[in-house]
Amino acid sequence: MREIILDTETTGLSPNDGHRIIEIGCVELFNCVPTGRTFQCYINPERDVPPQSTAITGLTTEFLKPFPVFSKVVDDFLDFIQDDQLVIHNAKFDLTFLNFELSRLGLAVLPQSRAVDTLLIARQKFPGSPASLDALCKRFNVDLGKRNKHGALLDSELLAIVYLELLGGRQRTLAMESSRDGPAAETVEIGTKHVKRAARIFEIFDEEAKAHKEFLGQIKNPLWSQY
């Protein structure tokens, strides 16, 4: 399944107040794994960038002036996202801005139903806890590196990791997937291609099995003993 992690940076909080998009960043996922394909563009908002926005994004009016306006990048943007599911943190915010720009050009808007909102997932999974992207990165021990400004592509890359964790981590089910011919195949990334190879089988020695049994014996009231 193809999904697109999406984030925008803007000059302010609402297009109804005259604010515009200044950056779009997207990361392509295939079966919840980044493929390496991304989309990123800076956009001339055709207005000044307020100091509050510059403080968050590091983007200034002067920096953005040479870049194309939204109408010049919209085709490339729509070609990248295609008709696939969007994954957005606080989807209502980003879709409001994107749909404002699309409507101005007479183009079809992006329905809210098309987006998976990771903010809502986090609030349902961790009620009462902070659910910002920064807070979730800290919860899941995602390395923020030297990030001190918001950037649409960087935030999309971080959200891709957080999204996988919100879904339950790399192994999303309790049962390992297996092939008809034997053990589960291992998927290896080669560039942007996914190649399956036969799973490796590791022999368990008697000493290891004994040590494992002794370790399990030290666990008080294990969950599996209740069944």
What is the pTM assigned to this prediction?
A: 0.73
Sheet of 115-117, strands arranged across: 33-42, 21-30, 2-10, 85-88, 115-117
Residue 89: active-site member: no
pLDDT for 188 equals: 40
Pairing of strands 2-10, 85-88: parallel
Q: d(Cα 203, Cα 144) in Å, to the nearest integer?
A: 38
Q: What is the pLDDT of residue 176?
A: 38
Q: How far is CA 69 from CA 53, 65, 101, 160, in A?
A: 18, 9, 10, 27
Q: Report the b/e string of 161-181 with b at 16+ CB within 10 A.
A: bbbbbbeeeeeeeeeeeeeee
Report the C-alpha gap between 199 and 184 in whole angstroms.
6
pLDDT in tens, the chain (227 residues): 999 999 999 999 999 999 999 999 999 999 988 999 999 999 999 999 999 999 999 999 999 999 999 999 999 999 999 999 999 999 999 999 999 999 999 999 999 999 999 999 999 999 999 999 999 999 999 887 656 667 999 999 999 999 999 998 754 444 334 333 344 444 444 344 444 445 444 455 666 566 666 666 666 666 555 54
123-127 contacts at long range (C-beta below 8 A, 24 or more positions apart)? 125/166
pLDDT the model gives residue 183: 41
What pLDDT, on a 0 to 100 scale, did the predictor assign at position 169?
72
Predicted pLDDT of residue 200: 45
Specify which residues 23 forms β-bridges with: 9, 42
Rg over CA atoms, the chain: 22
Q: Do residues 88 and 4 make contact, with C-beta atoms less than 8 angstroms apart?
A: no
Please list, in sequence order, all residues whose beta carbon lies within 8 angstroms of the beta carbon of residue 205, skipping any fewer than 6 positions away: none
> Which is the catalytic residue, given 19, 89, 150, 194?
150
